[in-house]
Amino acid sequence: MAFNILWIDDNIEELRSHVMYLGEKGYEITGVTNGLDGLATLLEKDFDAVLLDEMMPGMGGLETLEELRKINAHIPVIMITKSEAEDLMTRAIGKRIDDYLVKPVSPLQILSALKRQLEARKLTGEEVTRGYMSNFMALSDRFGAAKSPKAWEDIYSDLVTWSLDLFQYSDHGLLETLDDQYSAANLAFAKYVRKNYQKWVNADGATGVGDDADEVIEAPLLSPRVFEDWVAPEIERSRQVFWIVIDCMREDQLRIIEPLLEKFFHMERRRYWSLLPTATPYARNSLFAGLYPLDIAEGYPQWWIGPADHPGSRNAHEGELLEELLKRTGSPAAGSSRYYKVSDERDADLLHRNLGSLGDTRLVAGVYNFLDIMAHGRSQSRILKELAPDEAAFRTLMRSWFEHSKLYDVLKNLARRDCTVILTTDHGSKLCQRAVQIRGNRDTSSNVRYKFGDNLGVDEEKVFFMKDPEKFRLPPQSTIENYAITTDNYYLVYPTNFHEYERLYRNSFQHGGISLEEMMCPFVVMRPR
Give yes or no: residues 171 and 245 share one domain.
no
Residue that is last in its domain, among 85, 118, 151: 118
Gap between the terminal Cα atoms of the chain: 43
Does some domain include residue 512? no
What's the pTM?
0.84
Give yes or no: residues 73 and 203 share one domain.
no
Residue that is last in its domain, among 118, 135, 166: 118
Going 119 to 125 to 127 to 128, the CA torsion angle's sign is: positive
Domain carrying residue 271: 223-428+519-528
Does some domain include residue 513? no
Paired strand residues for 457: 439
In this predicted structure, what is the pLDDT of residue 198? 95
How confident is the model over 145-181, as pLDDT tens digits?
999 999 999 999 999 999 999 888 876 778 889 999 9
Rounded to whole angstroms, the Cα distance separating 231 from 154 reads: 23
Q: The domain spanning residue 13 has which CATH number?
A: 3.40.50.2300
Answer whether 361's CB lies under 8 Å from 242's CB: no
> What is each CA distance from 208 to 10, 203, 226, 312, in whole angstroms?
76, 6, 17, 38
Does some domain include residue 328? yes
Give yes or no: residues 256 and 374 share one domain.
yes
Give yes or no: residues 272 and 335 share one domain.
yes
Give yes or no: residues 206 and 340 share one domain.
no
Give yes or no: residues 186 and 46 share one domain.
no
Give yes or no: residues 156 and 238 share one domain.
no
Mean pLDDT of the chain: 88
Give yes or no: residues 228 and 365 share one domain.
yes
Exposure of 422 by Cβ count < 10 A (0-12 exposed, 13-18 middle, 19+ buried)? Answer: buried
In this predicted structure, what is the pLDDT of residue 453? 80
Give yes or no: residues 302 and 400 share one domain.
yes
Does some domain include residue 514? no
Answer whether 252's CB lies under 8 Å from 431's CB: no
Give yes or no: residues 204 and 230 share one domain.
no
Does some domain include residue 511? no
Does some domain include residue 458? yes
Residue that is last in its domain, among 118, 143, 163: 118
Give yes or no: residues 10 and 114 share one domain.
yes
What own/partner pairs with CB < 8 Å and gap ≥ 24 does 291-300 have? 291/224, 291/321, 291/325, 292/201, 292/224, 292/473, 292/474, 293/473, 293/474, 293/475, 294/469, 294/470, 294/473, 294/474, 294/475, 295/224, 295/473, 296/321, 296/475, 297/475, 298/475, 300/324
Count the domains in the chain. 4
Does some domain include residue 234? yes
Q: What is the mean pLDDT of each run of 10 residues along the chain (529 residues)?
A: 90 92 94 94 94 89 89 90 66 72 90 89 83 91 95 96 88 85 96 96 59 65 97 96 96 96 96 96 96 94 64 76 97 96 77 84 94 81 83 91 92 95 97 90 78 83 90 82 90 89 89 97 97
Give yes or no: residues 291 and 371 share one domain.
yes
Does some domain include residue 366? yes
Rounded to whole angstroms, the Cα distance separating 258 from 439 reads: 43
In this predicted structure, what is the pLDDT of residue 254? 97
